[in-house]
Structure 1
């Protein structure tokens, strides 16, 4: 079983940073468009990119929250698909990882 206290602290710090970024994106998207139509086109393109970033951040936040829930219920470090151990090196690289490397690879393939 991994040292969950260290992973929990890291996940909570990552979560705080992502929620802050998400808030800044929401603030940027809430700003009204410029009255100049050529500026509006640029701002709309920027908004589309921000919306994409926001969606990715929302996925990361959800993944981190699920990892924190696994820490709370004592299943952190166990693959949610096969029940095997997630390698410590994988958790170091991706503390929110829910799948062991074998299940992650098979998930990517299809």
Structure 2
């Protein structure tokens, strides 16, 4: 098994989020049908796409913050309690800011 490489994981994740953001923006720029009923459905789809875009942009921002923490030597340190974030959590969620205990308490 390869050791966890946070820089690689974060860059891969950033690339995926960036591709998602670009694809959603392209979808939102498409023209709508002249048919009113069709337009209504397309506008509903646009609302869903806007939500997905916000999620993808938030994910991209979280990854950028994680990369900044990595550069500063603070990656893997919980922003809540200051304790190390568990490796398994970082492997599953490379941009995690909180340890499991702090994330659970926040919810």
Category of TM-score, reference length = shorter chain: over 0.9
- Is 2:94 the partner of 1:95? yes
Partner of 1:42: 41
Give the 5 Å matches for 1:1-110.
Answer: 6-108=5-107
Consecutive unaligned residues of structure 1, counting only runs of 5 or more, are none
SS in 2 for 1:99: coil
SS in 1 for 2:57: helix
State the 1:32 CA deviation. Answer: 2.0
CA distance in 2, matches of 1:24, 1:92: 26
CA distance in 2, matches of 1:17, 1:99: 22
- TM-score, normalised by the number of residues in structure 2: 0.92
CA distance in 1, matches of 2:35, 2:67: 46
State the 1:46 CA deviation. Answer: 0.7
State the 1:101 CA deviation. Answer: 1.0
Consecutive unaligned residues of structure 2, counting only runs of 5 or more, are none
SS in 2 for 1:90: helix
State the 1:59 CA deviation. Answer: 1.1
Q: How many pairs are equivalent?
A: 105
CA distance in 1, matches of 2:90, 2:13: 14
CA distance in 2, matches of 1:32, 1:24: 15
- TM-score, normalised by the number of residues in structure 1: 0.90
